[in-house]
Structure 1
Amino acid sequence: MRRRIHGPLARKALLAAAVLPPAAAAWIVATGWLAANELRAAHHDLNALRESVAASTSTGPSHAPAVAAGSAAEPDQERLLRSAAAHAARAHDLTTGPAWYTASQLPFLGRPFETVRGIANASHRLAGDVLPPLVRAVPRLSADAHASGVPHALLELEGEAPAFARAARVAAKVRDDTTRLPRSSWLPAADRGRAQLSDQLDRLVPGTRDAAVAASVMPSMLGAHGPRRYFLAFQNTAEARGTGGLPGAFAVLRADRGRLSFERFGNNTELDGIRAYVNLGAEFADRYGNNEPGSAWANSNMSPHFPYAARMWSAYWRAHTGQRIDGAIAIDPGTLSLLLRVTGPARLPDGTALTADNVMDLTERTSYAMYADTAERKAFFVEAARAAAERLMGAVEDPKLLPALLNAVRDVQQEGRMQVWSADPAEEQLLAQGAFGGTLPDTPGPFAGLVVNNAAGTKLDYYLDRSLVWAPGACTDTGRSVTATVTLTNRAPTSGLPEYVTQRVDAPPYRTLPGDNRLLVDYYAGQGATLEHATLDGRRVELIPGVERGHPVYTLDLELPRQSSRTLVLHLREPEADRAPTILRQALVTPLQATVKQAAPCPA
């Protein structure tokens, strides 16, 4: 049965057709229908391609010869890739020319034509320029990993770096062009297509960027051109710091031609009393100087900008040992949980299994009750770190675990639970662009960052819940009003916690109870934003203003009693808030619950 079109939508379509010459209108209708079919065919091929790639990377060692030889999976992927590119190219060709260009320039009525042209052009560029180098690398890298292990496969990325970098640039340009397409028109199908393309690009662009960064820096960082040494910090997120948690146990990791090994393990007491000499600039000194990050190891990573902490750790290590390190890596029990889910449990010297399900609880809660002696507890942390790390090192050489490990690393990346810094300026410049760089971005645009630092010396952030609601308001000549609502909840029980967990080393002048906590709460706004006023639990409160990497920062010293919630509301004016903000997610035990409300477009 044919579907009839009624109402204002039909009238607008007829009006659009009437504005154009009849022949041009007929041409647009016919080519538009054909282009839609071509785009659907390209989408079908790309879905099949994605399934084929997933199947080839999950092939176990018993199937490795077929993958390495490329007799089955690789030709099938090439065929699907060529077919998708051909369909997308035809859709692009069908939507170019004088008729389509003229139609797309019509005020209001031309919006869907402009959108369809943009979708076809984006699909053509993605299928032709972005996906080929990424897809073609998968079978070869997978075969290398099956033959020699993950690190050696990553060494092979070096030759792919230029192609990956070009793919990342094209993907980013396509996303920029897509954002300029009309957000709404009189044709819902075009609007849905634009929204779907935008969602896909939001996932694709970071992936291509990270692939390009990995291809450029991983081979050298894995020791392809000479041995490298890295300071590996295990952050304890039960006591919050800007980059995640308190730097506790650590290791020195060696990489030499893709082979990974550990030279030593230690804990934070080894670095207590050391003085690190590093100049991170006047802005850093203004914000963090009073906390003496260069002489108080526990305060070395209060900033959420990981390169600051990494440079500080590098300076500490050199002051302690006289040795230079080539970089720094930070992980936490959440990282170990995600990776141990793939590798299986690690074993502690006493036979205790360290598993994906118990590593967080064992290292950040149970161990405080197990060991009354601080030295014994810290020794346990080191043994736990050693056992987990050695289990992971064995796993990266096992080709059977390659696909699951890569998926786990992706999950670690999405949760922000691993951060990497290189002492080589060229490598660091690339790392800073990717998800593992742990950088506080210094680019313009709407931004919302909630960062907490434990100011009490407790281990109560294991029980901390955080939520952030970013709600845009009315547009003005100076930007848009924004309301940021921060809720912090302390779920610490009223009894049963060891004294070491609840002790208040800050020695507050007011009465506290076991389980009460204290936090330095920082809210990072977008560049150029201003705070109009703030309330805490409904009452006006004054926040301490500051600046870090171009972001206005507003700080509150907050007492957070056990079994309580407190709500901080900031009323801001953001100069660029016509789109969703970048959210800074500090990785703690419990993930941040962030909600971004939709903004109505500001008048042109």
Structure 2
Amino acid sequence: MAVLLLLVGVIVWVGARGLMASNELKAVVPLASQIQGEIGSADTAAASTTAASLAAHASKAAELTSDPIWRAAEVVPWAGGNLAAVREMSTELDRVASQVIVPLAGIAGSIDTTSLRSADGRIDLAPLVEARPVVGEAVIALEAASARIDAIDADAIIGPIADARSEFADAIDAASEAMTTLDRTVRILPEMLGADGPRNYLILFQNSAELRTGGGIIGALALVHTEDGRVTLIEQAASGDIGYSSEPVLPLPEAETVLFGNRLGTYIQNVTATPDFSLSGRLAAAMWARDRGTVVDGVIAVDPVGLSYVLGATGPVAVAGGGTLSEGDAVRALLVDTYERLDDDHAQDAFFASAAGAVFGALSSASIDPAVLIAAVTRIADEHRLAIWSAHDDEQAVLADTTLAGMQATQTSLGEQAYAVYLNDRSGGKMDAYLDVATSVEVADTRDDGRSEVELTVTMTSTAPPDAAVSLPRRTTNGGMFGVPPGVIATNVTVYSPPGAFDAGVSYDGAPVGYQSVNADGRIANNVAVDLAPGATATVVYRFVSAEPGQVTPVAFATPLMTG
């Protein structure tokens, strides 16, 4: 009887404390949403108060689920595993609240995008530098919490607790990803903006009407100067202003030479033909230093679609000739109308330079909403329309793990089952304004050894008018140069496999086709030349065998187009 009474007492005790802990945890949910709103509205005082309240509820939940009786009950078969899971989740929430939420709420106001920018457009860098320890510790705390939550065996707990574990794990992972991004930002942005001394950056404006792997040929360039949070446009140039060299300005890797030729390193227009933007940046920097005499601290590339997103934040800008550019018309104005309206290369270059300068001038305005601009830049980065290389090794090491480091880094970040589709124009014209591309990848079959037979399909369509050869400007069709008939879209379509994958052939419109194959640092790079007459469609299927058994979730991404 005594044992029975003791057991009943334990059940009542644990049940009561479990109910109280549940109430504490339920109180946390609305407070978490409330903090987000308060931080978003820059109400730091309110956010700190709410964070303290959230931490108190989390601490109480951890206390209620960690007393000796609760811990003793964890040895009971079936029930014990569930009790342990509740305790562990409560403990992790308490840690996250005290080590992440409360400290971040305290600095949120100082790194708010609105408060960082002064009336003259200068960015106050000191708060970003001061935030580094808090943000860095938050990253460590979230990574530790994620590991401990993942260690809870979901198969050993009942449905409601397993669901709570899954939701908590997802929330921690999302917070960890966001915090890692913030950590990288506060670690490198102050120096890039001149916190430790003046910097110079070369901006490459890509023209996606003539595709290159990274987005398009280089059509215009700009040199910007940063110092103590202030950004100034120093110099502009057209790509034609940068001289050609008979030999590459830097040694080129063998795979790049085979796939893209020496022109990768001899013409500024071609530096983004490689997926390795660290190479693109070094090549562009070397060419600029040779011709302009300025050694730059980094190189940044963006395409016209990306510029249009920026215009969504700045509003329309005036350009040479009395016109304006806006988010809705910038892409067509830059990549189609320019060639119909201006038949002189120098006039086209001047228009591109004017557009780039106007957008930069709008960016420098103190009236722009930083939050809207950040949203635009995030969209540009998500669509792979922005790439950054730093000449400073410590900063490049931070960038190298992000998609901002270019297409090669993006493929790496997508994991060991990621395929990349890179497009390079062969006509020298601007026909890619009329190119549509659809890409898909799937496991077609599984071999006896467990490896997957992967098929990556690229479907390309020309939307050029039937009479493109005569109706489109010569600068658009390039008039038959390089052996490509006017009006034809000519593209090298190169697919990079994941590391260690095996080549299994290529077909073009259902029939086997010859192709160029190169080993690029452990990745297979298979290249096929595709020519599309106006209105034509071609389908190319690249086949591979996965590097390892069980790789059944391949993913793919491609060079961004002007059509989205």
1:426 alignment partner in structure 2: 394
Is residue 515 from structure 1 mapped to residue 491 from structure 2 by the alignment? no
Q: Cα gap change, 1:249/1:530 in structure 2, threshold over 3 Å: closer, same or farther?
A: same
Aligned-pair distance for 1:425?
0.7
> What is the aligned counterpart of 1:502 among 464, 473, 477?
477
Q: Cα gap change, 1:418/1:227 in structure 2, threshold over 3 Å: closer, same or farther?
A: same
Q: CA RMSD in A?
A: 3.4
Is contact 1:291–1:299 with CA below 8 Å preserved after alignment?
no
> What is the aligned counterpart of 2:37 among 39, 51, 58?
51
1:368 alignment partner in structure 2: 339
2:111 alignment partner in structure 1: 141
> What is the aligned counterpart of 1:244 among 215, 224, 229?
215
2:437 alignment partner in structure 1: 466
Is contact 2:442–2:455 with CA below 8 Å preserved after alignment?
yes
In 2, the alpha carbon distance for the partners of 1:501 and 1:147 equals 44
Gaps of 5+ in 2: 1-6
1:163 alignment partner in structure 2: 134
Aligned-pair distance for 1:132?
4.1
* 1:104-503 correspondence to structure 2 within 5 Å: 120=90, 123-142=93-112, 144-145=115-116, 147-148=118-119, 151-175=122-146, 187-190=158-161, 192-197=163-168, 199-201=170-172, 203-274=174-245, 276-288=248-260, 290-394=261-365, 397-398=366-367, 401-438=369-406, 440-441=408-409, 442=412, 445-472=416-443, 474=446, 477=449, 479-495=451-467, 496-503=471-478
Q: Secondary structure at the match of 1:244?
A: coil
Is contact 2:450–2:550 with CA below 8 Å preserved after alignment?
no
In 1, the alpha carbon distance for the partners of 2:13 and 2:455 equals 49
Which letter maps to 2:473? P
Sequence identity (%): 24
1:3 alignment partner in structure 2: none
Gaps of 5+ in 1: 1-20, 57-72, 592-604
In 2, the alpha carbon distance for the partners of 1:117 and 1:439 equals 43
Aligned-pair distance for 1:403?
2.2
Is residue 560 from structure 1 mapped to residue 529 from structure 2 by the alignment? no
Q: Cα gap change, 1:371/1:147 in structure 2, threshold over 3 Å: closer, same or farther?
A: closer
Give per-residue Cα distances to partners, 1:463-506, cap 9 Å, x unaligned. 33333333346486454443333322322222342222123666
Is contact 1:456–1:504 with CA below 8 Å preserved after alignment?
no
Is contact 1:446–1:576 with CA below 8 Å preserved after alignment?
no
- Per the normalisation by structure 2, the TM-score is 0.85
Q: Cα gap change, 1:500/1:560 in structure 2, threshold over 3 Å: closer, same or farther?
A: same
In 1, the alpha carbon distance for the partners of 2:426 and 2:231 equals 37
Give per-residue Cα distances to partners, 1:13-62, cap 9 Å, x unaligned. xxxxxxxx998887776666555544433222111111111222xxxxxx
1:83 alignment partner in structure 2: 53
In 2, the alpha carbon distance for the partners of 1:30 and 1:580 equals 45
Task: Give the stretch that moved more between structures: 41-50 or 21-30.
Answer: 21-30
Q: Cα gap change, 1:181/1:484 in structure 2, threshold over 3 Å: closer, same or farther?
A: farther
Is contact 2:116–2:123 with CA below 8 Å preserved after alignment?
yes
In 1, the alpha carbon distance for the partners of 2:111 and 2:83 equals 41
Aligned-pair distance for 1:250?
0.7
Q: Cα gap change, 1:188/1:315 in structure 2, threshold over 3 Å: closer, same or farther?
A: same
Task: Give the stretch that moved more between structures: 252-261 or 131-140.
Answer: 131-140
Q: Secondary structure at the match of 1:301?
A: helix
Is contact 1:156–1:219 with CA below 8 Å preserved after alignment?
no
2:3 alignment partner in structure 1: none
Is contact 1:482–1:574 with CA below 8 Å preserved after alignment?
no
1:551 alignment partner in structure 2: 523
2:501 alignment partner in structure 1: 529
Q: Cα gap change, 1:502/1:89 in structure 2, threshold over 3 Å: closer, same or farther?
A: farther
1:589 alignment partner in structure 2: 562
1:18 alignment partner in structure 2: none
